[in-house]
Structure 1
């Protein structure tokens, strides 16, 4: 038979603020009985645990979103007004999408076509790319090539290089880079020299520092509005975020 004392204690706990309830005020027998009641209740109603987990996850997500919003505001100039980053889509668009990308990242490659579809279908997305090589030497070489291309030939050439690099199945050895430079109408020797320059190194260092401030540890990571969206997102989800921003 269930303990009347334990039930009374449970009722008291539910009826009063948790802060006012102190297990230390209970005797050893009362505490054991109360704990047994809790255990029995949870075994009989396990869905309560899942409900509590869902509430906790929602609270954590809300706290993360609030923190991300503050981080985006503090770092807005580096995110949205950096002269070294590619700007595409509609430069006057009412929603800005920033992507931190690594060309050797499988999920970045998966997201590439969906981002392109979003930009084309929407028509009012301002798109900024942050070179964020984190997967080794090939990633950094690829980013250096893209950044150097932008510095030497501008955004249009950068986009061509970026689109090629994200789909590239081979390595990024020098002959491959020279062939890519030729396809862009650029001097391969000059481009390779630019890739090794302090100017390019500084761009990557600034992007990594920005990523650290935003607690970005993987790619792709997106910033849309005042939110940091970590990981791959399907097209429909990106469209929903854009519409939610416009509805604010």
Structure 2
């Protein structure tokens, strides 16, 4: 905050009449007078700092949104058409929602059923899940299990595993995951073997590479149509984002 205030003060100072020249062009006496004038102005008008910071924040948000949009456009094929990722909802939907997920992420768990509700109630959303384990070895094991289930048993089994992993309270040890497979009616041995396969590792590595390119550092992160949504967003707000993207696409 101190650095931000200092930078704001300097910006204001250079914008004040009579100070078009830089500080380096001033004599010591002029520089001292200049600083005193800036200090007096800010003490008399402290609300200016808040106004400037609000404007700076607003401009930064606009710039970040524009950058996100550019990154989505540049990586659209990897985001939306990755054959290794699970696709649910309406495969022919007019809007695609992509979620980068970590099963050990509390906000991913919070968003889980709301996202399901979003997809189910809308009926025209194509939903893509990207395994993005970033919270340690337990996250990696969970993702390896889910990907192995997808590769061996298909989409329906994957969604079942996905839901089970998000609701799992125990640590996802090998024993816990084998037990989960049995509860799903699946033979755990091939799944446990597949978890270490290069095909599974490649999915995780590709998703991490894509996330790095798109400057995604946390979960959940969503791509909704042509924009990115970083972090948990309540259902109503997600519905509004979908409608806005849908309108932009139709327009």
TM-score (structure 1 length as normaliser): 0.88
Q: Which residue of the partner structure matches residue 79 of structure 1?
A: 79
Is 2:175 aligned against 1:168? no
Q: How far is 1:195 from its partner? A: 1.1
Q: Which residue of the partner structure matches residue 177 of structure 2?
A: 177
Aligned residues of 1:13 and 1:21 also touching (Cα < 8 A)? no
Aligned residues of 2:14 and 2:22 also touching (Cα < 8 A)? no
Q: How far is 1:11 from its partner? A: 11
Residues 50 and 203 of structure 1, relative CA distance in 2, 3 Å threshold: same
Aligned residues of 2:13 and 2:38 also touching (Cα < 8 A)? no
Aligned residues of 1:101 and 1:108 also touching (Cα < 8 A)? yes
Q: How many residues align?
A: 237
Q: Which residue of the partner structure matches residue 131 of structure 2?
A: 131
Q: How far is 1:226 from its partner? A: 2.2
Partners of 1:97 and 1:213 lie apart in 2 by 19
Matches within 5 A, 1:135-214: 135-214=135-214
Is 2:128 aligned against 1:94? no
Q: How far is 1:165 from its partner? A: 0.2
Residues 156 and 33 of structure 1, relative CA distance in 2, 3 Å threshold: same
Partners of 1:125 and 1:12 lie apart in 2 by 51
Partners of 2:14 and 2:133 lie apart in 1 by 57
Q: How far is 1:104 from its partner? A: 0.7
Q: How far is 1:43 from its partner? A: 1.5
Mark the structure with the bigger radius of gyration.
1
Is 2:46 aligned against 1:46? yes
Q: Which residue of the partner structure matches residue 115 of structure 1?
A: 115
Q: How far is 1:148 from its partner? A: 0.7
Residues 225-234 or 158-167, more deviating = 225-234
Q: How far is 1:183 from its partner? A: 2.6
Q: Deviations over 1:98-152 (max 9, x none)?
A: 1111101111111112211211222222111000111111111110110011111
Q: How far is 1:21 from its partner? A: 3.6
Q: How far is 1:15 from its partner? A: 5.7
SS in 1 for 2:87: strand
SS in 2 for 1:215: coil
Q: How far is 1:25 from its partner? A: 4.5
Q: How far is 1:31 from its partner? A: 3.2
TM-score (structure 2 length as normaliser): 0.87
Q: Which segments of 5 or more consecutive residues in structure 1 lack a partner in the other structure? A: 1-9
Q: Which residue of the partner structure matches residue 3 of structure 1?
A: none
SS in 1 for 2:70: helix
Partners of 1:154 and 1:193 lie apart in 2 by 17
Q: How far is 1:35 from its partner? A: 2.2
Q: How far is 1:81 from its partner? A: 0.3
Aligned residues of 2:102 and 2:134 also touching (Cα < 8 A)? yes
Is 2:113 aligned against 1:103? no
CA RMSD of aligned residues (A): 2.1
Q: Which segments of 5 or more consecutive residues in structure 2 lack a partner in the other structure? A: 1-11
Residues 197 and 53 of structure 1, relative CA distance in 2, 3 Å threshold: same
Partners of 1:194 and 1:61 lie apart in 2 by 43
Q: Which residue of the partner structure matches residue 34 of structure 1?
A: 34
